[in-house]
Structure formats: C-alpha cells, structure tokens
C-alpha cells in the first residue's frame, strides 16, 4: 500500500426512504470521513472473476478494482453494500461509488490484510457534490 497506493477518502451514507411511494430517497453523511490508502486497477481481461461479473452485468467495462486496508467496512452483516463515496487523491478529485464488494478479505492469522471492491466513477448525482 505504501509503495503503490494513493490516498483515498471514504464517506459512508445512510439511506432514508421517503414517507410515501413517490418521495425521493435521501442520503445523509454517516460519521466522519475515513482517510486511508488504496490501490486502483482497471479490470483485468485475463481474470475469470472480472469476466464473469461483466457477463452477469454486475460491473461495466469502465469500472475499476480497488484494494484497501482490510479494516474498512464495505457491507453490513446481511451482505447489503453501504452507500459509499470514495475520493481518489487528497483532496479527492476523482469520485467513485462502491458498486460491488469483492468478496472476503485476504487474512493472515485471522486479521484482514486487504479487501477488494469494485467502484464506478461518479459523474452526476447527489454523491458527486457531497
């Protein structure tokens, strides 16, 4: 992480549903911004995992893979992904949203070493200006 990583900011949001069926959902910043290091790669055309996710429509060709410290939380215990905004650089200049948890983290002696996630560039919407 120290050699190949870049500084990233991670913001978590809670999602509140509107009171009636046509009310918009509201995202609210939850907690403080987490600063850490991350390594970003494009999708690997030789990766069977990346190709399977592309075929299933879970990720797109412009999405990226993000590797971060194993202590970051991407989803809750039921497997639902948190609404997350990730800024690359300090201050964040490129903004991404977490779209898919990359599975279990790699562990050594029951300590998570790193986690993988798939992220998508934010170009419009409420998370960009947040």
For the whole model, what pTM was predicted? 0.74
Task: List Cβ neighbours of 33 (8 Å cut-off, separation of 6 or more).
Answer: 9, 10, 11
pLDDT digits (tens, 9 = 90+) for 38-56: 888 899 889 888 999 999 9
- Please state, in angstroms and rounded to a whole number, the distance separating the CA atoms of residues 29 and 87: 14
Determine the 3-state secondary structure of 52 from DSSP. helix
Alpha helices in 24-112 (DSSP H): 48-56
Alpha helices in the chain (DSSP H): 48-56, 126-129
pLDDT digits (tens, 9 = 90+) for 52-92: 999 999 999 999 998 887 777 776 655 566 677 888 877 76
Domains of the chain: 6-129 (2.40.10)
pLDDT digits (tens, 9 = 90+) for 88-127: 877 766 888 888 777 656 667 776 677 888 998 987 655 5
Share of the chain above pLDDT 70, in %: 64
Residues 92 and 10: beta-carbon distance below 8 Å: no
* CA-closest candidate to residue 68, choices 94, 37, 100, 102: 37
């Amino acid at each position: 992480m120290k050699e190949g990583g870049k500084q990233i900011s991670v913001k978590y949001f809670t999602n509140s549903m509107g009171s009636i069926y046509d009310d918009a959902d509201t995202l609210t910043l939850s907690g403080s911004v987490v600063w850490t290091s991350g390594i970003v790669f494009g999708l690997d055309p030789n990766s069977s995992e990346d190709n399977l996710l592309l075929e299933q429509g879970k990720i797109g060709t412009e999405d990226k893979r993000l590797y971060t410290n194993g202590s970051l939380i991407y989803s809750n215990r039921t497997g639902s992904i948190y609404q997350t905004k990730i800024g690359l650089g300090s201050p964040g200049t490129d903004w991404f949203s977490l779209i898919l948890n990359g599975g279990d983290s790699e562990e050594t002696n029951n300590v998570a070493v790193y986690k993988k996630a798939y992220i998508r560039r934010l170009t419009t919407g409420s998370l960009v200006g947040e």
